[in-house]
Structure 1
Amino acid sequence: MALFNDNQKILEFLELVGRLKHEKRTGWVLCDINECESIAGHMYRMGMMTFLLTDENNITKLDRFRCLQIALVHDLAECIVGDLTPHCGVSVEEKHRREDEAMKKIAELTGIAGDRMYELYKEYENQSSPEAKFAKDLDRYDMILQAFEYEKRENAPKKLEEFFAATYGKFDHPFIQSLVEELYRQREIFEKKCLVNGNT
């Protein structure tokens, strides 16, 4: 009987997680981006970026698996509360309260596994480890990379400048800083090309 109840809860958890596959990220919706990414898509690419850490660029010896786990749970609460941004009229304190409550509910559904997810979520929220700080860099980098991809897709240079302005100078890890530099370089080339072609 206990196993049946446990499996019921796990199914409920998986259905909640499944929502993230279809929930659009609020920032892009507010910018009228058609066919914008889902929350799960954002978390997936963040997770994939942790595989790019190598002996050569992982100079601070980050735990890659822990980085991956944090990337996969950092927005998990959004399957219940949605993607709350500063434009949603919800204070930072209330946002954190709602997300914390949601993560506790998720933890209850999944027992020991849930306790682990909650612990990783709090680590990210509190930025209490080098791995959590790296995940924050990934979060910001994926956002500006996505913004640039939308600018290219719509042939609209600087359309999403606000996302770049919001993250400027906030990247800490040398590897991510190098990726940011390359992204800025490519974005500048794109803007110049558009100017030559008469697009503004």
Structure 2
Amino acid sequence: MDTIDQLTSDSISKKSIEFLELIGQLKHLKRKGWVLANVENPESIASHMYRMALMSFLIEPSSNLNRTKCIELALIHDLAECIVGDITPYCGISPEDKRQREEDAMKYIVDLIPTNSEYIQQLFYEYENQETAEARLVKEFDRLDMIVQAFEYEKKEGSNNYGRLEKFFTSTKGKFSTPFIKNIVEELNFRRNSNINK
């Protein structure tokens, strides 16, 4: 019995290490949209997910939203990219094919996790299917982080490049519905337009 338990323990440890190595790649994989836009030293997928998770602390306690669930969704939503990479609309891959690749990747990833695997799979589908208020808010976090990052890149590149990343802002127009996020976007656009019009 001890031998079987040890083998099981060894197997779990091996799978756990593979899981940690896989997700570790997200710290180094660059976000494809910024790469295609020729941004110097673009952010990694993990850094994008990190700021999205921290955005959850902007949620008003009176909103009745589950902040912990939002943090979890933010940390899981791009997890499949450690296997499939960051697939953008400009990669020539259909949304259906992208979805299938990510679902297959998630099945592989959760098979490596000895505990909470079903919950992680559930979070993935909750976000993908936009099933809850938390999932819909985290989708807004995803878009918000993108335009905040675009604003930061434009500032970093200097006055000659203000407005260069306009397509990222245009792609999010009309897609924010949460009042506090709409206020942030309004302030962000005000600051950006002030830079462009200098």
Name the TM-score, length of structure 1 as normaliser: 0.93
Runs of 4+ in 1 over 6 A off after TM superposition: none
Residues 91-139 of structure 1 deviation map (CA, whole Å, 9 limit, x = unaligned)? 1000000000000111111033221111101000000000000000000
Deviation, 1:54, is: 2.7
Q: Of 78, 82, 85, which aligns to 1:75?
A: 78
Partner of residue 197, structure 1: none
Match for residue 107 of structure 2 among 101, 104, 108: 104
- Cα RMSD (Å) of the superposition? 0.9
Give the counterpart letter for 1:41 in structure 2: S
2:40 is paired with a residue of what secondary structure?
coil
AA aligned opposite 2:180: F
CA distance in 2, matches of 1:125, 1:111: 23
The Cα of 1:169 is off from its aligned counterpart by 0.8
Unaligned runs of 5+ in 1: 194-200
Give the whole-Å Cα distance in 2 for the aligned partners of 1:98 and 1:78.
9
Shift of 1:77: 0.1
1:46 paired residue number:
52
- Secondary structure of the structure 1 residue equivalent to 2:90: helix
Deviations 1:137-174 (A, max 9, x none): 00000000000111111121110000111100101211
Gaps of 5+ in 2: 1-6
For residues 20 and 144 of structure 1, what CA distance do their matches in structure 2 show?
20
Alpha-carbon distance, 1:87 to partner: 0.8
Displacement of 1:62 in angstroms is 0.7
Correspondent of 2:145 among 142, 146, 168: 142
Distance in 1, matches of 2:77 and 2:143, equals 12
Tell me the equivalent position of 1:175: 180
TM-score, reference length from structure 2: 0.94
Q: Is 1:188–2:193 an aligned residue pair?
A: yes
CA separation in 2, counterparts of 1:130 and 1:112? 26
Q: Which string of whole-angstrom CA distances, capped at 9 and with x for unpartnered residues, describes residues 38-77 of structure 1? A: 000000000111112132xx53x11000000000000000
Secondary structure at the aligned position of 2:83 is classed as helix
Say if 2:144 is the partner of 1:159. Answer: no
Give percent identity, aligned residues only.
51
Counterparts of residues 5-154 of structure 1 (less than 5 Å): 5-55=11-61, 58-59=62-63, 61-154=64-157
SS at structure 2 position matched to 1:182: helix
Output the CA distance in 1 between the equivalents of 2:22 and 2:180.
34
